[in-house]
């Protein structure tokens, strides 16, 4: 890997790590306000005004991570690669700093509220960490083989596996939320809601994560990554063989 690429990758990692600490700081403040006895389910209702701010804060975080990827990359695919690496590092170090500052989570299987866009996501901490590790690997492979081969591409079949897997994983994170709101016949919170956030699930305590659905999505994305790796890895050899035959 070229020195310039290593330098760019290092700064993306440092940027994402710093953002992870910033995210941790905000969550520590929120937990002091709403969970002074320590975070746990059921979730405390959050005033609508604060909920709207929190929603847009998370949206702004995604914009910053996307922006970092766009600035760092030189091609569409490399920009995507730097973005998913930044996202993954941000997510991983968010939990690292939480543990360092407030000794939470107690284990990798501790449940957490993962995201709010477009609806609340819940799941054990290990689940988003596994996804983050996969994103890091895919991002690195793109950067490595794009530099080594001159260019790489992801064909439609590979995109279908990658995106399809991600959609299934996201649905697995939303599964419990939709299950409880469906059972209680209470509408989900949105930016236009007048109710407080989490009011519809104020008695909800997660019991069982939908692991089969999660691993189905993870396997689907992993298949897409493996397909990409195999096609990129063999490309230089094919080019070499063609040159030899022409000579």
245 domain-assigned: no
114 domain-assigned: yes
197 domain-assigned: yes
241 domain-assigned: no
Whether the per-residue pLDDT at 1 is higher than 50: the answer is: yes
pLDDT, tens digit, 9 for 90 and up, residues 133-156: 999 999 999 999 999 988 899 999
CA distances to 40, 208, 239, 245 from 179, rounded to whole Å, are 19, 12, 52, 61
Paired residues of 113 in beta bridges: 122
Q: What is the mean pLDDT of residues 150-163?
A: 94
71 domain-assigned: yes
Please state the three-class secondary structure of 59-122 as a single string. Answer: HHHHHHHHHHHHHHCCCHHHHHHHHHHHHHHHHHHHHHHHHHHHCCCCCCCCEEEEECCCCCEE
pLDDT, tens digit, 9 for 90 and up, residues 80-120: 999 999 999 999 999 999 999 999 999 999 999 888 766 77
How far is it, in rounded angstroms, from Cα 241 to Cα 47? 65
- For 242, the 3-state DSSP assignment is helix
118 domain-assigned: yes
Q: Are 102 and 187 in contact (CB under 8 A)?
A: no
pLDDT, tens digit, 9 for 90 and up, residues 196-220: 777 777 777 887 899 999 999 999 9
Whether the per-residue pLDDT at 189 is higher than 80: the answer is: no
Residue 103's region, left for phi above 0, alpha for psi from -120 to 50, else beta, is left
**Structural domain containing residue 42:** 3-236
Counting the structural domains of the chain, the total is 1
pLDDT, tens digit, 9 for 90 and up, residues 236-246: 544 433 333 34
Q: Are 186 and 204 in contact (CB under 8 A)?
A: no
Paired residues of 197 in beta bridges: 46
Choice between 192 and 115, residue whose per-residue pLDDT is larger: 115
pLDDT, tens digit, 9 for 90 and up, residues 50-85: 888 988 998 999 999 999 999 999 999 999 999 999
Paired residues of 123 in beta bridges: 112
What whole-number percentage of the chain has pLDDT above 70? Answer: 89
Query: How high is the pLDDT of residue 172?
Result: 95
Query: How high is the pLDDT of residue 186?
Result: 55
pTM for the whole structure: 0.87
Query: How high is the pLDDT of residue 241?
Result: 39
* Mean of all residue pLDDT scores within the chain: 87
pLDDT, tens digit, 9 for 90 and up, residues 24-48: 999 999 999 999 888 888 878 888 8
Q: What is the mean pLDDT of residues 166-187?
A: 78
136 domain-assigned: yes
How far is it, in rounded angstroms, from Cα 102 to Cα 24? 10
Query: How high is the pLDDT of residue 236?
Result: 56
């Amino acid at each position: 890997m070229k020195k310039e690429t290593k330098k760019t990758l290092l700064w993306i990692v440092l940027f994402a790590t710093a953002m992870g600490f910033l995210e941790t700081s905000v969550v520590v403040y929120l937990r002091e306000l709403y969970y002074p006895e320590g975070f746990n389910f059921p979730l405390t209702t959050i005033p609508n005004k604060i909920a709207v701010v929190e929603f847009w804060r998370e949206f702004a975080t995604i914009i910053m991570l996307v922006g970092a990827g766009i600035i760092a990359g030189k091609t569409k695919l490399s920009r995507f690669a730097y973005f998913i690496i930044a996202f993954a590092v941000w997510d991983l170090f968010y939990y690292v700093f939480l543990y360092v500052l407030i000794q939470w989570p107690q284990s990798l299987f501790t449940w957490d509220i993962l995201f709010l866009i477009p609806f609340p996501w819940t799941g054990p901490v290990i689940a988003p960490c596994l996804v983050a590790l996969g994103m890091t690997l895919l991002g690195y492979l793109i950067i490595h083989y794009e530099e080594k081969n001159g260019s790489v591409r992801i064909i439609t079949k590979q995109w279908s596996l990658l995106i399809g897997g991600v959609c299934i994983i996201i649905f697995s994170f939303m599964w419990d939320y939709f299950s409880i709101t469906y059972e209680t016949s209470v509408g989900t919170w949105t930016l236009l809601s007048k109710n407080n956030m989490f009011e519809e699930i104020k008695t909800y305590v997660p019991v069982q994560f939908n692991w089969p659905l999660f691993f189905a999505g993870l396997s689907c994305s992993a298949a897409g990554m493996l397909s990409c790796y195999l096609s990129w890895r063999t490309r230089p050899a094919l080019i070499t063989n063609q040159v030899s035959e022409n000579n």
